[in-house]
């Protein structure tokens, strides 16, 4: 264990001390911050529309225009100008979506069928006309409010849809995206680290003092610690962004994701990075690593895609629950599906046990491939050759002495 700890510590120091790691961490944190703040800023700017008025509108007029805005998902701000000419000038300059004068009607920059300003003005005109007609009929203010803002009856589903909410769905989608990015990135780090040590012959020096198994476990553990640091930095950046816009951090940590996503990240990392390390031992050049790792990245990509489609309700629950039990797919599916209520805690626990068991046997096979291939240089080792070499592999002298 001391040797494994030393190797892990070496990986942590080597990765975190590099300028590339610090730069990549800073860029990803800024990207996470922008992911939270920019949509909010753009949405706020795009949904608030200025209505230029030639004189202060009455409550009836304001209510009719505001109701029309609600049907389009817009928010309005009324701004009074000194006369109709000034209100029209605001429309022409783009400062207002349209101008309104109680005596002359609505004025838009250009009448077009698909134009938002035209559609808004037309709906506002219809709403205002209806409100005026009801008022002319002698209805009271409360009666007018009941007619213009009717209370619709509820729409109830006959089959349970779980505890999903738009907030939980968004949080689960973010978790799936982060899971894919981090697992693919740090899996590639493990693989390229093995390739670099192999191509530079550093591994031959290391194997004179440690066993291949110790080197493999230490490397995966060290880079895994760096991955957790990076993941924590991303969560901190997103949380800071949510606090900056006045939102609760639970927007990305809802539905059990606070504890479930880190747990499944560790399980997914252990599963995939043992495979990536085995792939790295099979090649001697960095250029060959991507082609050799394709069989490993394929289930990772499949799990990510299925998780996103599952969040959209594309897959039936039975199929989704079956796929969530498959090791390799489960790190993407379980956190996302549990957050929206399509997988129970019991099913998540069973999937975690299956993933642990699969990782254990996979680690044994990967260690054999690593041991059989790490000292082979020259041409790339095929998967068939790696499997054959793993079956025939024997312990190295350093390993037998450990």
Q: Render 108-150 in DSSP notation, one character per residue.
A: -SS--TT-HHHHHHHHHHHHHHHHHHHHHTT--HHHHHHHHS-
In this predicted structure, the answer to whether residue 301 has a pLDDT above a threshold of 70 is yes
Amino acid 164: pLDDT: 47
13-53 tens-digit pLDDT: 877 887 877 888 888 888 878 877 776 666 555 567 889 99
Most distant CA pair in the chain, distance: 101
Q: 51 with 97: CB under 8 angstroms?
A: yes
Q: 256 with 338: CB under 8 angstroms?
A: yes
Rank 273-277, 289-293, 302-306, 369-373 by mean pLDDT and report only the highest.
Answer: 302-306
Nearest Cα neighbor of 296 from 336, 268, 335, 264 is 268
In this predicted structure, the answer to whether residue 377 has a pLDDT above a threshold of 60 is yes
Could you give the percent of the chain with pLDDT greater than 90?
8
**pLDDT, mean of residues 289-317:** 83
Angle at which helix 294-311 crosses helix 317-324, to 10 degrees, equals 150
Give domain limits for the chain.
47-148, 165-401
In this predicted structure, the answer to whether residue 395 has a pLDDT above a threshold of 60 is no
Name the 3-class secondary structure at 101.
Answer: strand
Query: Considering the entire predicted model, what is its pTM?
Result: 0.62
In this predicted structure, the answer to whether residue 234 has a pLDDT above a threshold of 70 is yes
Give the C-alpha separation, 149 to 146, whole Å: 5
Place of tokens 């799990």: 303
Nearest Cα neighbor of 263 from 323, 175, 199 is 175
In this predicted structure, the answer to whether residue 325 has a pLDDT above a threshold of 60 is yes
Q: 193 with 281: CB under 8 angstroms?
A: no
109-154 tens-digit pLDDT: 888 866 788 888 888 888 888 877 877 777 766 676 666 666 667 6
Nearest Cα neighbor of 169 from 238, 265, 264, 251 is 251
In this predicted structure, the answer to whether residue 402 has a pLDDT above a threshold of 50 is no
50-72 tens-digit pLDDT: 899 988 888 878 888 888 888 77
**pLDDT, mean of residues 158-165:** 49
Amino acid 401: pLDDT: 39
Please tell me the total number of residues recorded for the chain in this structure. Answer: 402
* Domain 47-148 CATH superfamily: Periplasmic binding protein-like II (3.40.190.10)
Least confident window among 62-76, 158-172, 265-279: 158-172
User: Residue 130 to residues 58, 60, 133, 231: CA-CA distances in angstroms?
Assistant: 15, 11, 5, 55
Least confident window among 161-170, 332-341, 374-383, 393-402: 393-402
Instruction: Work out the pLDDT band at 354, boundaries 50, 70, 90.
Output: very high
């Amino acid at each position: 264990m001391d040797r494994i700890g030393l190797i892990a510590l070496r990986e942590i120091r080597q990765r975190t001390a590099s300028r590339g790691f610090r730069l990549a961490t800073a860029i990803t944190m800024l990207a996470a911050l922008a992911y939270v703040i920019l949509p909010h800023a753009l949405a706020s700017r795009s949904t608030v529309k200025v209505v230029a008025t030639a004189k202060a509108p009455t409550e009836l007029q304001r209510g009719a225009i505001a109701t029309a805005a609600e049907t389009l998902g817009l928010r309005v701000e009324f701004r009074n100008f000194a006369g109709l000419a000034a209100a029209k000038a605001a429309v022409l300059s783009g400062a207002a979506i349209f101008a309104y004068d109680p005596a002359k009607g609505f004025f838009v920059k250009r009448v077009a069928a698909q134009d938002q300003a035209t559609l808004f003005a037309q709906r506002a005109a219809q709403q205002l006309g209806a409100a005026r007609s009801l008022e002319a009929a002698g209805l009271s203010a409360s009666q007018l409010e009941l007619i213009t803002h009717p209370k619709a009856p509820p729409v109830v589903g006959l089959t349970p849809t779980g505890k999903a909410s738009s907030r939980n769905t968004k949080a689960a989608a973010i978790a799936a995206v982060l899971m894919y990015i981090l697992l693919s990135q740090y899996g590639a780090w493990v693989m390229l680290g093995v390739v670099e040590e192999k191509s530079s012959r550093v591994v031959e020096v290391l194997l004179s003092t440690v066993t291949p198994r110790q080197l493999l476990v230490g490397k995966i553990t060290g880079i895994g610690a760096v991955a957790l640091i990076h993941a924590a930095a991303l969560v901190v950046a997103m949380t800071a962004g949510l606090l900056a816009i006045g939102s609760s951090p639970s927007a990305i940590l809802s539905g059990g994701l606070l504890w479930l996503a880190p747990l499944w990240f560790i399980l997914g990392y252990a599963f995939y990075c043992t495979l990536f390390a085995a792939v790295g031992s099979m090649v001697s050049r960095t250029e060959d690593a991507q082609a050799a790792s394709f069989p490993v990245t394929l289930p990772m990509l499949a799990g990510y895609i299925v998780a996103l489609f599952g969040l959209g309700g594309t897959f039936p629950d039975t199929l989704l629950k079956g796929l969530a039990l498959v090791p390799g797919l489960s790190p993407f599916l379980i956190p996302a599906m549990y957050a929206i209520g399509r997988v129970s805690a019991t099913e998540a626990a069973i999937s975690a046990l299956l993933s642990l068991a699969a990782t254990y046997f996979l680690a044994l096979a990967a260690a054999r491939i690593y041991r059989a291939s790490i000292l082979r240089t020259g041409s790339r080792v095929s998967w068939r050759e790696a499997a054959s070499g793993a079956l025939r592999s024997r312990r190295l002298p350093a390993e037998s002495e450990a």
